[in-house]
Amino acid sequence: MSTNKFVGIAYWSVTTGVTDWLAKALDVLMPVEKAGLAVLAFDCLPGGNQLSIQFGDERYVMPVNEGKGRGVVRPSPSATMFVVCLLALRKALGDISVVTDSQETIPTLPRQNYPLYADTWERVLPVAQELGLATGAAFTASHKAVLNNMF
């Protein structure tokens, strides 16, 4: 365990040369809003742009200024759902690192047996499915040709 006073369940950092990375991130995450799982917002602020994702009463903010941003995901009932959103961004856009407190890279595909998700899997799974990280309607639709050839 870290002696850092900013201990969380995960840490993320963005370093990108893509000027509209957060706007693209909003597009990637839009399926969770369309499914009614979260509310997304994009703000252009003087100190940089920020994307916020709200699950119920819990709001997570991703500020990015001049292609750089970082944050801590603190323990909370919806924290693992936000981590899944970060992983979807890593898969779709790149330029983002998502690690645990021990600096271990969190696997892109969420699994129920991964310790981070064990207690919140029932809330994590619908988010992962909407973002195409777990099998579900969105995953099946986006991989229809492959699945038809396999089965």
The three-point CA angle 56-57-63 to 5° equals 100
**pLDDT at residue 118, rounded to an integer:** 87
Can you tell me the distance from the alpha carbon of 45 to that of 136, in angstroms, rounded to the nearest whole number?
36
Give the residue-averaged pLDDT of 38-67. Answer: 90
Residue 1 in this model has a pLDDT that exceeds 50 = no
What is the strand order of the sheet 10-15 is part of?
A: 68-73, 10-15, 96-99
Residues of the chain above pLDDT 90, percent: 60
Can you tell me the distance from the alpha carbon of 42 to that of 128, in angstroms, rounded to the nearest whole number?
21
pLDDT 10s digits, 21-49: 999 999 999 999 999 999 999 888 777 78
DSSP codes joined into one string, 79-99: HHHHHHHHHHHHHHT--EEEE
More confident residue, 57 or 5: 57
**pLDDT at residue 53, rounded to an integer:** 95
Pairing of strands 58-64, 48-55: antiparallel
Q: What is the DSSP letter of 104?
A: P
**pLDDT at residue 142, rounded to an integer:** 65
Cβ neighbours, 10 Å, residue 66: 9
CA distances from 125 to 17, 27, 105 (A): 32, 20, 20
**CB–CB of 81/73 below 8 Å?**
no
pTM: 0.85
Which residues is 132 bridged to in the sheet?
A: none
